[in-house]
Structure formats: C-alpha cells, structure tokens
Amino acid sequence: MSLAELRALAIRVLRAAGLAGDHADAVAETIVAGERDGCASHGAYRLLVAVNSIRKGIVSPDPTPRIEEPAPALIRVRGDFGFAQLAFALGRPRLVTKARRYGIAAMALNDVVHFAALWPEVEALAEDGLVVLALTPSHAWVAPAGGTRPVFGTNPIAFGWPRPGREPFVFDFATSAVARGEIELHRRAGKSVPESWGFDSQGRPTSDAEAVLNGAMRTFGGHKGSALAAMVELMAGPLIGDLTSRQSLEADQARGGSPIGGELIIAIDPAGFLGGSVAGALIEAEAMFEAIEVQGARLPSSRRYAARARSLKEGVVIPAALHADIEKLLEAE
C-alpha cells in the first residue's frame, strides 16, 4: 500500500466512525507517520484503537478546540475532548511564534484524548527549528519504585533537536519498563514476561502477562525512572490543571478507552541564547552525534528514519488480518 493509499483509508475509516474532517485528517497523519516509520504498534493498527475510543464515547467526534494565552510565554489549547493531534495542530504555529519571541515558551494541551506517540509532535517542532520537550501522563498502570501498586501512567518523555539538512534528533520513550502494548502482545501469544516487568494485583513479582496487566507495571531504570515518571505526572497533570493518570483511569469508568488528560510541550528557540551563533552550536551537536555513531552505537531515531526512507520509496505492508479488521470498521458503520 502506498502512503497516499493508507492515508485515504485512514481518513475514510475515521470519518465513517464519525470524526469531523479536520479531526480525521490530523489523526490520519499520525497513523500514516507511525506506519511509515516502521512502528507497527503505532501505525494502521491504531485505527482500531482510535475507533474504539470514538465508539465508546471517550473522544468527541467534532470538538471545537480553543486557544488561550494564560501568560505571555504560555499557550493553552483546550481540546474539547478531541484527539490530541487536532489541538496540537491548532496550537503549533502560536507556540513557534512565542518561543521565537520570548526565547522559551510552553504549550498545554488540555482535555484531549491520547492514542499515539509523542514523537510526531516533537519532530514537527524540531523541523520548525526549535528544541522541544513533550510529556504526557496516561492511565495509572505503573507502580513507583519501592511499591507494587499503580500510581503513574506509562508517562512518555519525548525530545527533539533540529539538525541542519536532515531529520531531527528525536527520542520518545515510556518511563515504564516496557510499553504496555508489549505486554499485551505477550498475553495474546500466550508467552510469559520477565519478572522485572511488573507485579500481580497482590503485589507479587510475576511472569504472567495477564497478571501484570491487571496488577502493576514497573518503571524503567529503578528509582531514577520512577522519579521521571513522577515528574511527567506532575508537569503534564496538576501543573497544567489537568488529570493525573489515576484520575484518567477513573474517568475511563472501565470502558477501556485511551487516556484522557493533558500534555505539556516546552519549546526553546536556539537563537534565544545563541543569537548569531546557532549554526556553530549545531555543528558542536553534530560532533557529539558523530562520536556516538562512530563507535557503532545508534542514535535513538535512526531505525525510524531508515524505515521511513524505505516506506517513501516502496510503500508499507499491512498484514491481511489487520487490513480485514480495518475494513470491518467501515462495514460496522
């Protein structure tokens, strides 16, 4: 399937599910980007996830996001319970303008539903020449270090750094030990999971995937990952007046929908501190990237970009079973 065909399919499915035109377009772009970059779990598969949240009434099909400026260097987009992509698309130009004017700026997305990764947003802003940090809570599935009961979401941290003449340096990872989808894949395959991934609902270490999903996942990196998960929870929850992961799960009312809540994006214009020396500083950064790659280590985004180059030439392969499931979404409407 070419990327254009996938985009058309995604838009058709999302509109059939009831999404308004601009809403469907914004969400489809994220799905195409995931599939294009070889992230199967964030590609076409996510159409099923998105439509699930639409049908269960978690997400509003035709929201009216509104922009506010609570302080000179802050932007807030109230998402009206649409998917985060629509609110982001609306706020992005203003965040760029503010970062350039003030040197640093932050944007809160409030009242949005998250079903996707953060890297498309971080990459877009890095393409605008900004240094970007994005954070969001999710549903309370992850125990703090030293505990066994869920408090945090999978709470991803994403970062973007502009690189002249090529794709930005981007990373985006969950502060949980693994992605939740990884545990779900193990459950479906009937495979056990390492005991380092989580606890059962009695707080005991377990290698049973189902038990971890009903119990608690662990953070990555012990107490350090746990501290970062708390930071994400605080900065993209209470700090922007939005839900914590515990509140998001509660608001879900066991419907099994995507997390509801907020996202915080901090953007810094390199020209702020550097003035006319931006080019030289970016060269220093390139020297660091080279020192990493020259020893055979990979930059975080390199696999995605390699997959992208392939997909742009050759298109993408959607497994027949998944394609059938997606087509079924159209029939059911």
Find the binding residues for a copy of itself in span 20-59 (CB under 8 A). Answer: none
Q: Verify whether residue 42 is a known catalytic residue.
A: yes
Neighbours of 188 (CB within 10 A): 9
Binding mask 180-219 for a copy of itself (x = CB under 8 A): ----------------------------------------
Long-range contacts of 95-99 (CB under 8 A, 24+ apart): 95/125, 95/265, 95/267, 96/125, 96/128, 96/130, 96/267, 98/72, 98/73, 98/74, 98/267, 99/130, 99/267, 99/268, 99/269, 99/272
Distance CA 184, CA 182 (A): 5
Q: Verify whether residue 277 is a known catalytic residue.
A: no
Among positions 286-325, residues that touch a copy of itself (CB under 8 A) are 287-288, 291-292, 295-298, 300
Residue written as tokens 């390139």? 286
Which residue in 23, 35, 42, 263 is the catalytic one? Answer: 42
Among positions 152-171, residues that touch a copy of itself (CB under 8 A) are 157, 159, 161, 169, 171
Distance CA 53, CA 65 (A): 18
18, 38, 61, 147: which one contacts a copy of itself (CB under 8 A)?
A: 147
Q: Verify whether residue 182 is a known catalytic residue.
A: yes
261 binds a copy of itself (CB under 8 A): no
1, 185, 230, 330: which one contacts a copy of itself (CB under 8 A)?
A: 230
DSSP string, 137-173: --SS-BPPTT--S--B----EEEEEEETTEEEEEEEE
- Binding range to a copy of itself, per CB under 8 A, among 14-22, 23-31, 248-256, 271-279: 271-279
CB closer to a copy of itself out of 192 and 277: 277
Active-site positions read 41-42, 182
